[in-house]
Amino acid sequence: MLKKMSVVIALTFSFTQHAFAEDVIKIGTLSDYAPFEYKDPSGKLQGMEIELGDAMCKQMKAKCQYVTMDFDALIPALKAKKIDAVLAQMSITDERKKVVDFTNLFTLAPVQYVAKRNAGITENPATLKGKIVGVQSGTNHELYLQTRLPQSKSGIQVKVYQALDQAYLDLVAGRVNAVLADTTVSYDWIAKTGKHDGFDYAGKAINDVAMFGEGTGIAVRKGDPLKAKFNTAIQQVLADGTFAKANKKVFPFSIAPTK
């Protein structure tokens, strides 16, 4: 009898572990992309997308485990099943849709140059001829400059960084003339540091849906039913005011999808 009870207990424990494991979602993200993802002085991961990620996982009755890495490592990690989803302001583009599935639109993410005020730099590529532009590695900003504005034709030199804050440091130091990034992320840097040092947006947002997509989404593996669960969670945080509340903490404008 004791032996049978031990077997039952062992099987029950094994089943419980398995059930618990199914409720864990490993989310690949960044740690240097304020205000969306960053670490506070104590080393805790914070940010608008982390707050919303927690809310969505709660809605899905799942436990989130965030795994931070460089942006260009996120899709390879997803495909290798090291993570289950990517929540890192990843723009929905046709090129990325070839290798991963995306949820419905999660945030709007216009793209804009940042440069010294009165430097004469705008969204017009001619104003950047002979200049150096900093971008983050693996982003569609890097791809845009490589494919739309190759140095051989545009005269624009591209400097690639693993982390965007490194690009901003070089911008202040004069080692690059401009940085190309999402308007939302640049807003955080401009508000905290840039304006004080004489930097601001340069020109208008770049309108190139083919390169930058319509906005960002959460990436999952091809055919993963997790996509449907995240879509329901996205709809919930947009409808119940959770998204608007998190948005208001960091931006004076809405980045909620309009459709």
Record the pTM.
Answer: 0.80
Q: Which domains does the chain have, with CATH numbers?
A: 25-108+214-250 (3.40.190.10), 111-212 (3.40.190.10)
Report the percent of the chain where pLDDT is more than 90.
Answer: 89
Using CB atoms within 10 Å of the CB of residue 173, give its burial: 0 to 12 exposed, 13 to 18 middle, 19+ buried.
exposed
The yes-or-no verdict on residue 18 having pLDDT over 70 is no
CA-to-CA distance for 206 and 125, rounded, in angstroms? Answer: 11
How many residues in total does the chain contain? 259
Tokens 């039913």 sit on residue? 225
Contact indicator for 247, 55 with CB cutoff of 8 Å: no
Average pLDDT over residues 124-147: 97
Residue 4 is predicted with a pLDDT of 47
> Is it the case that residue 8 has pLDDT exceeding 90?
no
The backbone torsions φ and ψ at residue 32, rounded to the nearest 5 degrees and listed phi first, read -140, 35
**Average pLDDT score over residue span 138-160:** 97
**193 CB-near residues (< 8 Å, 6+ apart):** 168, 172, 199
Summarised one tens digit per residue, pLDDT across range 191-218 is 999 999 999 999 999 999 999 988 999 9
Query: Quick one: pLDDT at residue 259?
Result: 61
Average pLDDT over all residues of the chain:
92
Q: Mean of the pLDDT values across residues 93-120? A: 96
Q: What is the mean pLDDT of residues 134-161?
A: 97
- The residue-averaged pLDDT of 119-137 equals 98
Residue with the two structure tokens 């572990």? 17
Q: 100, 220 in Cβ contact below 8 A? A: yes
> Contact, 255 vs 103, CB < 8 A?
no
Is residue 241 predicted with pLDDT exceeding 50? Answer: yes
**Local confidence band at 16 (pLDDT 50, 70, 90 cut-offs):** very low
Question: What are the C-alpha distances in Å from 40 to residues 33, 44, 108, 186?
Answer: 12, 5, 25, 19
pLDDT band (50, 70, 90) for residue 20: very low
